[in-house]
Amino acid sequence: MFMVPVFYGPDRAPFYEAGRMLWRYRAELAPLYWFLGCLLGGAWLHSAHPGWWPLVIALGVAGIFLLALRPASLIKKFPILERWRVRLWGAGFVAAVSVWLTFATIHGATAGPMELLAALGTGVFAVPWLWREDRRRLTRVRIIRDHFPETADAAGLTGARMVSAVMDKWGWTARIRLRRGQTYSDVVKALPDLESALGARVGSTRAEPVNDDASQFTLRLVETDPHAQPIVWEPRPVPVLGKTRASITQPVTVGVFEDGEPITIPLLRKHVLIGGATDSGKSGLLNVILARIAECTDTAVWGVDLKKGMELAPWRRVLHRLATDNDSAEQLLQAAVDELEKRAEFLMARGRREWYPKSDAPQLFILIDEFAELSKKAQKLADSIARRGRAVAVVLIIATQRPTQKAMGEASAVRSQMNVRFCLRVNERPDVDLILGAGKLNAGWDATKLDGAGKFFVSGLGMDIPRRGRAYLITDADVTETAIAYQRPGSVTAQEGAQAVFGSPDSPSAGFSGGPESIGAPPAVSGPEMALWAALRDAPAEGVTAGVLQDATGKGRAWVYKRLKAGQADGTVTTPGYGRWRAVRPQPAAGVDQQADPSEAAGHDPEGGHADQP
């Protein structure tokens, strides 16, 4: 019998620790591994396959060409290859190894000065490999990982240990396992102490909970602040002939998180609240959101700017309606409520629950700057829109400094109805909970530490982790260029032109009765679908002809007949006589509350709506 050596039991530790160290520091020891690999590979090729030297040359040439061509799949897997210096080093390394292996295959790995040449080549290529900045950073992170128990103990998180760590462009991110009984709330309180223990700059650490494991959290250290400088605005390319424009049904990008990930926000049937102190960047963020909305073909925007139009004036080419005092704001919001109710009635009659925006039936945004300055009547109208407007795609975008109950209206539900909330820098800690919701401050959403204009936290569906973002910097020139590129027919600017020609203050283009500062008449935002339905609904018992419906909708005969046939198929349109049409008025079911919200009483279309629906 003979004994087989095994590496477990009391004698296992030295071998285990040695193997663990060789693997953990594989990047630092890579030059040694290159040297040994070349010697072993050259010896094997010379003894077993000395005729393979042409294959070695071919593989080397292929590797150099691969680095020169930079295929997208290779760049995606190894982003560092985007740098020309790295590609140059890689090409030289591949060439040197292939030449040495070729001679080693023919003459042997230890013939003459082959070993010395291998050692010299290893030293030459090891210097830039080990001196790379990210290599030095990786070494620092590994040292921090090894000594993290002592660091955690100094920060009051005794027993915590670092499970894993990865580097990125601006710092590193680690997964930390806490001692039993510790929670994410303890981490939030200990962040300043943890910064001190790590020797990091003030405000450079971020903590995020791990939702599926309460005993862990994600620690991020920002060594180089990616938000230190403004982020240049990235407009969507203006569509050319044959290209489709953006749609509000897709999320829009408003900025960049600290890890470089774009901040995409869903605005389809979503109310938006923007809060922050003076000079925190509310106007800049509002301009970015407006620019993204302007890029979408299925949107319409009305604006309320009680600073005499100073903030929204550059967007006159995009806005269909602009109110600059409380009287005109009340009229605008009343028109929005009327539109909301028409849409709700339309959806209920057609058996649908939600409005699907299209270019001729857009989502209507009501933009309100400085909500607290609105009159009581205007706030009440805004409250009605906040409660009922989501399903029918009539939504609010509100900017305010402190959305207190008094500022938003004592009996108002506006704040509670906001689906997406942006919190820029605030001066008082309780304002965080006012903007983002109760409990956010204690959960790590401390916006008092935001140190630059345009930096914010964003909360909404799927955005329940406190991640710092910064909005794109959009200049006045960018605003003007975007407004010109996406100018809307019937916008405030177009109406001003009509007023200049006709000059009648009583004409519809002369604006609201609120005064000369408020300009614009409401466009037909409902679209031809609702015009068709209104004509069918109001038709007499004998019905109306297709020609009448064409005049009412402004659409051609084929379009009208397609919708009429669809209405017949779903039982909402009938023909009382040859060539005549009218709507079938649904009878309320017994026991149904007649006062129920029509937007909630409508049926749901499981197929996502018909082809003719808004």
Binding site feature residues:
276-283
Kindly list the strands in the beta sheet with 205-209, ordered across the sheet, starting from the edge strand earlier in the chain.
161-167, 171-177, 216-222, 205-209
The CA-based diameter of the chain, rounded to the nearest angstrom, is 113
Backbone angles phi, psi at 611, to 5 degrees: -65, -20
C-alpha 244/C-alpha 256 separation (Å) is 25
C-alpha 208/C-alpha 275 separation (Å) is 23
Tokens 């919190």 correspond to 423
Backbone angles phi, psi at 558, to 5 degrees: -65, -45
Closest-CA residue to 303 (of 470, 488, 454, 478): 488
Contact by Cβ (8 Å): 226, 258: yes
10 Å Cβ neighbour count for 16?
12
- Annotated binding-site residues for ATP read 276-283
Closest-CA residue to 194 (of 238, 155, 137, 167): 155
Tokens 């938003």 correspond to 408
Closest-CA residue to 546 (of 560, 563, 530, 528): 560
C-alpha 349/C-alpha 613 separation (Å) is 12
CA 32 to chain CA centroid, nearest Å:
45
Contact by Cβ (8 Å): 271, 340: no
When computed from its CA atoms, the radius of gyration of the chain, rounded to whole angstroms, is: 33
C-alpha 336/C-alpha 338 separation (Å) is 5
CA 23 to chain CA centroid, nearest Å:
38
Tokens of 599: 């937007």
Q: Are strands 231-232 and 469-473 parallel, antiparallel or unpaired?
A: parallel
Backbone angles phi, psi at 61, to 5 degrees: -65, -40
HSE, CB side, 13 Å, CA atoms: give it for residue 572.
18
Closest-CA residue to 92 (of 121, 58, 131, 134): 121
Contact by Cβ (8 Å): 433, 275: no
Closest-CA residue to 283 (of 367, 218, 341): 367
Tokens of 382: 């805004």
Q: Are strands 299-305 and 321-323 parallel, antiparallel or unpaired?
A: parallel
C-alpha 343/C-alpha 462 separation (Å) is 29
